[in-house]
Amino acid sequence: KVCPPFDRAKILPMKMPDLIEVHRCTGKADVVRILRTEFVSGRWDLPESNSARIVLKPNFNSDMIGLTGNTTDLRLVVGLIEVLHERGFRNLVIADGTSSGFIDHEIDVLERLRVREIGRRYGLDVVNLNEDAYVERTTHRGSTVRIARTVIENDFLINLPKLKTHGEARLSAGLKNLVGCVVGLDKQTIH
């Protein structure tokens, strides 16, 4: 179910691929090469206007680097930024809200992972969704949660999850990454 007033076309603006592709990448150069090929292929829709506000939503739920298997690899994030810049997109935002343990201990995961440095280098906003302005929404089970405005008020959202297992769901794939769009400790409400 999609909670109103979301427009399903805005939530899923891309063509869904008929298959899953796996590419071996040993560095950022491989990421850039593959992303260039993918965007040229026509299988992926990007906004028509280069001025569109695009939110990159990686999984930075903890302060462990991507090589641990827990967070999105920064080479993917940087590679995507560079390819989007090549295509004329400059209004980019990196946004995530870390998991509750880091909120409780006031640990700035975006600083520790050097995401804020990437933002400065490429002239992008970096938003901690746990501290973002929010819109309240009611889930299909009646709980009220706060969803970050940065995620709601954009032209395009690119989900950059980490393929993961989960203790309760067994496999969360990329869906659980969107839990990071929920502000602060509200994540526990919808978990």
30, amino acid identity: D
Tell me the Cα Rg of the chain.
16
What's the rounded Cα separation, in Å, for the pair 164 and 50? 32
pLDDT of 119: 97
Phi, psi at residue 71, to the nearest 5°? -130, 160
Q: Are 54 and 158 in contact (CB under 8 A)?
A: yes
Structure tokens at 37: 């090929």
Rounded to two decimals, the pTM is: 0.83
Q: What is the DSSP string of 77-113?
A: HHHHHHHHHHTT---EEEEE---HHHHHTT--HHHHT
Per-position pLDDT tens, the chain of length 191:
333 444 444 444 455 556 677 888 888 999 999 999 988 887 778 899 999 999 999 988 766 666 666 788 999 999 999 999 999 999 999 999 877 666 666 778 888 889 999 999 999 999 999 889 999 988 888 888 899 999 999 999 999 988 777 677 677 777 777 777 888 776 666 66
Residue indicated by tokens 């769901």? 169
At how many degrees (to 10) do helices 74-86 and 115-122 cross?
10
Tokens of 170: 């067994």
Q: What is the dihedral of CA 142, 146, 152, 157, to 10 degrees?
A: -90
pLDDT at res. 179: 78
